[in-house]
Amino acid sequence: MTFSATNLLLVVVLLLNLFFLATSRIRALIQAAALQGVVLGVLPVLIHGRIHWNTALIAIATIVLKGSVIPGMLRRALREAQIKREVEPLIGLVPTMLLGALGTLLSIGFAEGLPLVPEHRGLLIVPASISTVLTGFLLLTTRFKAITQAIGYLVLENGIFIFGLLLLEAMPFLVEIGVLLDLFVGIFVVSIILHHINREFASLDTRRLASLRE
């Protein structure tokens, strides 16, 4: 049972990835990121069945941070910048989606090449992780608004977190918390920088941020 539930949630994550690339409304992006954060929070409990005290703590911390605190910060930055829509991306919405889908297929093929430990054999974790990383990467490279790039970075971190699930019992608690803390402080500093960009350039469009060149 647990296998099919985990795979189900991973499929949800894959669908969310496609959604990220489809929408250009930033508010919806933040909602989706929050949802993905919650899903990631639930996954560790599902994979390991028995509730060990540190797995539970990590699950709660992930849900709290990725589900509400970080999206809250991003929303506040969005409200301050008074922008609604992402401007026309570098290569258009549909091509990015196609690239995202192609990326997912590639990640599945790539995952085949990597042998897995017997108990993880059926899981979709590696493809999901790589696909999420690629989605985050696409958001970073094709979108222009600074806040969308921050969200792209967040999705990238989620992808890596998914892969981290395989090593949950080996990874010491301190490091997991350290990773989460770093993510939180990262987004906190990014939001401060977004505030300063908005104050200085009166817009979050990173095409203005290209005057340092050779």
Nearer to other proteins among residue 1 and residue 114 (C-beta): 114
Nearer to other proteins among residue 56 and residue 188 (C-beta): 188
CA distances from 190 to 74, 79, 84, 112 (A): 9, 15, 19, 36
Nearer to other proteins among residue 28 and residue 167 (C-beta): 167
Nearer to other proteins among residue 50 and residue 199 (C-beta): 199
Question: Rounded to the nearest whole angstrom, what is the least distance from the CB of residue 139 to other proteins in the complex?
Answer: 10
Nearer to other proteins among residue 3 and residue 163 (C-beta): 163
Question: Rounded to the nearest whole angstrom, what is the least distance from the CB of residue 4 to other proteins in the complex?
Answer: 23
Residue 145, token pair as written in the block: 């608004």
Q: Is 148 helix (H, G, I), strand (E, B) or coil?
A: helix
Nearer to other proteins among residue 50 and residue 196 (C-beta): 196
Contact 35, 23 (CB under 8 A): no
**CB-based contacts of 139, cutoff 8 Å, min separation 6:** 20, 21, 148, 149, 151, 152, 155
Question: Rounded to the nearest whole angstrom, what is the least distance from the CB of residue 176 to other proteins in the complex?
Answer: 9
Which residue's entry shows tokens 């709290």? 64
Residues near other proteins (CB under 8 A) are: 90, 113-115, 117-118, 129, 133, 137, 140-144, 146, 149, 153, 156-157, 159-160, 163-164, 166-167, 170-172, 174-175, 178-179, 181-182, 185-186, 189-190, 193, 196-197, 200-201, 206-207, 209-214
Rounded Cα distance, 46 and 74, in Å: 29
Question: Rounded to the nearest whole angstrom, what is the least distance from the CB of residue 93 to other proteins in the complex?
Answer: 16
CA distances from 64 to 70, 72, 116, 130, 141 (A): 9, 11, 31, 24, 28
Question: Rounded to the nearest whole angstrom, what is the least distance from the CB of residue 15 to other proteins in the complex?
Answer: 22
Question: Rounded to the nearest whole angstrom, what is the least distance from the CB of residue 113 to other proteins in the complex?
Answer: 6
Of 106, 132, 166, residue with least CA distance to 16: 132
